[in-house]
Amino acid sequence: MHFDALVIGAGFAGLYQLHCLRDRLGLRVRVLEAGGDIGGTWYWNRYPGARCDSESHAYRYFFSRELNDEWQSSERYPGPPEIRAYLNHVAAKFDLRRDIRFGARVTAAHFEDAANRWRIETESGEKCSATYLVTAVGCLSAANVPAIEGLSDFGGKWYHTGEWPHEGVDLAGKRVGQIGTGSTGIQAAPVIAQSAAHLTVFQRTANYSVPARNAPLTPEFNRWVRENYDEIRETTRQTPNGHAFRISRRNVADVTPEERQAIYEAAWETGGLQFRATFRDLLIDKAANDTAADFLKARIRAIVKDPATAEALADINHPYSTKRPPIDTDYFETFNRPNVSLVDLRAEPIERITPKGIRTSNREIELDVIVFATGFDAMTGPLLKMDIRGRAGRALRDAWKAGPETYLGLQVPDFPNLFTVTGPGSPSVLTNMPVAIEQHVEWITDCIGHLRSHGIETIEASPEAARAWGAHVDEAANATLMTHAKHSWYYGANVPGKPRVFMPYAGGLQRYRKICEDIAARGYEGFVMDRGRTATVALTAGDFAGAAASPSPGV
């Protein structure tokens, strides 16, 4: 069957892309979704303690005031069931389900030069084609289970948090080992500890965390959200990270040490990702960052009673927020429970998994369940899992051998009419995702609308523009302290053999939006239409100047 557009994925991105292409442009669209229902990341991530770190009033679509008015969140941070309920509401309101095929995992997408179309194949052998192909596969959807020797011999059960069984896992009375202390592990450990007989947390890298301070939302707050839709929406569009809070304009050095302490204490009490918004220079000045890092380490030492455990948890070797900063509910407090212990893998690395548990260089720890909170093959992983081939059969895997090459994170040279929502090279994971998603989906919709109204058959990024953009993505990252955490998944460092390239765009979502708008207004500068029929302009990183980094690490 042939469609105007195929969209891969039915999470926040795929649902809105379907609505835009079908209902605004009038295209024939099909969404192919690997999961059994809508939800994307929230369909798969059902691990204990899973919850969004963005606040409910910002973690939503902003394209429809009516939709905003209809939806009431129950808590400051939405949990997966509430997010799925929200997306179900969206799907029902815009009648989206009829164009979504579930259980359809795309394995291959090949561009046919002669016919100017994409041929798509799913795992079950279903085939279809489309003029435009939009990937809405998420940035964190390819689970990373580290290749630790012996896993296949393990006599207990093991799970990755990103592929958690939908029926749940009964951990009552079990000896659980959790590997990983990123945002996921920090959310999961306190909840696992409540039911497990014993929880052993295996920590390779110590991490900062700020209390989330989740709480039920009052009717007054929900009324405020309805009545201040324009202002909230505007804030998410004007801030570098797409959240509904603004980053302070003051620098750390603008205040006295006492004032600074009071600011950090107040932010700690408020809780959430806003902690990093306390000063504007936290992500660009190491000395400024040290003040936040010292404050947070002191908190860990004050909370955790066992001095050795406290020291291992506070021994953090990267500046605050240079890896994605977690927020938590009782994470550090959990280590005061008698049924929880920490294994510091820097002191005693894992040697192998045994039939009975995990053996470190010092001892064997017996376990019934291993929880891998070990993250994802981020950003490129979900795309490279599929066999995507562009012009002349060129494989995306080959094109990206040395790291992802994109123009604006939206298109790849030699892959015509392929659009990557929140692709590498875009702000994506450094932002509150739905806001970045809306911006991409609307840009792609406008672009396809432009092609159709001008009788243009193909659009693709020019190699020069992609190179210039790549240089600018590097430049933006280098202007921040994020280069101090080269072992983060932002650099692909968590997956052995993956090229070490800083993948998201750290120049700020508001600035990025402006760049994308300007490029479209200049006739899609840097893109090649119908293979050269429309002239392209050669770009250099300097063309994005003025876009010097405005650091924005976030969700």
Q: Does 17 bind ligand NAP (CB under 6 A)?
A: no
CB of 181 to ligand NAP, least distance (A): 4
* Cβ-based nearer residue to ligand NAP, 5 or 283: 283
Nearest to 527, CA basis, from 391, 408, 371, 355: 408
Find the DSSP H helices in 111-256.
Answer: 183-195, 219-227, 229-238
CB of 116 to ligand NAP, least distance (A): 37
Taken as a whole, the chain contains a residue count of: 555
Nearest to 140, CA basis, from 492, 418, 531: 492
Q: Exposure string (b/e) for 291-304, b if CB count within 10 Å is 16 or more?
A: bbbebbbebbeebb
* Cβ-based nearer residue to ligand NAP, 45 or 420: 45
Nearest to 415, CA basis, from 125, 117, 203: 117
What is the pairing mode between strands 100-101 and 106-112? unpaired
Q: How far apart are CA 105 and CA 256, in angstroms?
A: 56
Q: Does 489 bind ligand NAP (CB under 6 A)?
A: yes
| Residue position matching structure tokens 């690395």 | 349
Q: In Å, how far from its chain's centre is CA 329?
A: 20
* Cβ-based nearer residue to ligand NAP, 429 or 441: 429
Q: How far apart are CA 473 and CA 481, in angstroms?
A: 14
Provide the Cα torsion 48, 53, 57, 61; round to 10°.
Answer: -90
Q: How far apart are CA 472 and CA 302, in angstroms?
A: 42
Q: How far apart are CA 153 and CA 357, in angstroms?
A: 10
Which of these segments, 97-105, 198-206, 263-271, 443-451, binds ligand NAP (CB under 6 A)? 198-206
Q: Does 212 bind ligand NAP (CB under 6 A)?
A: no
Q: Does 146 bind ligand NAP (CB under 6 A)?
A: yes
* Cβ-based nearer residue to ligand NAP, 326 or 507: 326
* Cβ-based nearer residue to ligand NAP, 52 or 386: 52
CB of 175 to ligand NAP, least distance (A): 18
32 bridge partner residues: 8, 101
Q: Which of 17, 289, 494, 536 binds ligand NAP (CB under 6 A)?
A: 494
Taking residues 39 to 58 in sequence order and writing x for each that binds ligand NAP by CB under 6 A, - otherwise, the string is: ------------xxx-----
Size of the site for ligand NAP (CB under 6 A): 28
Which of these segments, 83-91, 121-129, 200-208, 419-427, binds ligand NAP (CB under 6 A)? 200-208
Which of these segments, 99-107, 178-186, 308-316, 392-400, binds ligand NAP (CB under 6 A)? 178-186
Using DSSP, how many helices (H) and how many strands (E) does the chain show?
Answer: 16, 20
* Cβ-based nearer residue to ligand NAP, 413 or 434: 434
Q: Which two tokens stand for residue 266?
A: 């107040």
C-beta pairs of 161-170 under 8 Å, 24+ apart in sequence: 161/45, 161/47, 161/50, 161/185, 161/188, 161/371, 161/372, 161/373, 162/44, 162/45, 162/47, 162/376, 163/44, 164/44, 164/45, 164/46, 164/47, 164/50, 165/46, 166/46, 168/46, 169/369, 170/195
130 bridge partner residues: 3, 118
CA angle, residues 259, 299, 240, in degrees to nearest 5: 65
Q: In Å, how far from its chain's centre is CA 215?
A: 24
Q: Which of 181, 289, 411, 536 binds ligand NAP (CB under 6 A)?
A: 181
Residues 247-266 that bind ligand NAP (CB under 6 A): none
Q: How far apart are CA 478 and CA 223, in angstroms?
A: 42
Q: Does 495 bind ligand NAP (CB under 6 A)?
A: no
Question: DSSP secondary-structure letter at 24?
Answer: I
Greatest alpha-carbon pair distance for the chain in Å reads: 70
* Cβ-based nearer residue to ligand NAP, 494 or 510: 494
* Cβ-based nearer residue to ligand NAP, 191 or 373: 373
Q: How far apart are CA 54 and CA 49, in angstroms?
A: 15
CB of 376 to ligand NAP, least distance (A): 6
Q: Which of 142, 192, 252, 373 binds ligand NAP (CB under 6 A)?
A: 373
CB of 123 to ligand NAP, least distance (A): 25
Q: Does 141 bind ligand NAP (CB under 6 A)?
A: no
Which of these segments, 20-28, 199-207, 245-253, 502-510, binds ligand NAP (CB under 6 A)? 199-207
Taking residues 330 to 349 in sequence order and writing x for each that binds ligand NAP by CB under 6 A, - otherwise, the string is: ---------------x----
Taking residues 350 to 369 in sequence order and writing x for each that binds ligand NAP by CB under 6 A, - otherwise, the string is: x-------------------
* Cβ-based nearer residue to ligand NAP, 275 or 376: 376
Q: Does 321 bind ligand NAP (CB under 6 A)?
A: no
CB of 372 to ligand NAP, least distance (A): 8
Q: Which of 179, 399, 451, 547 binds ligand NAP (CB under 6 A)?
A: 179
Q: Does 192 bind ligand NAP (CB under 6 A)?
A: no
Q: Does 183 bind ligand NAP (CB under 6 A)?
A: yes
Q: Give yes or no for a contact between 413 and 463, defined as CB atoms under 8 angstroms apart.
A: yes
CB of 51 to ligand NAP, least distance (A): 6
Please report, as ranges, the residues that interact with ligand NAP according to CB under 6 A. 51-53, 140, 146, 148, 179-185, 187, 202, 204-205, 324, 345, 350, 373-376, 429, 489, 494, 555
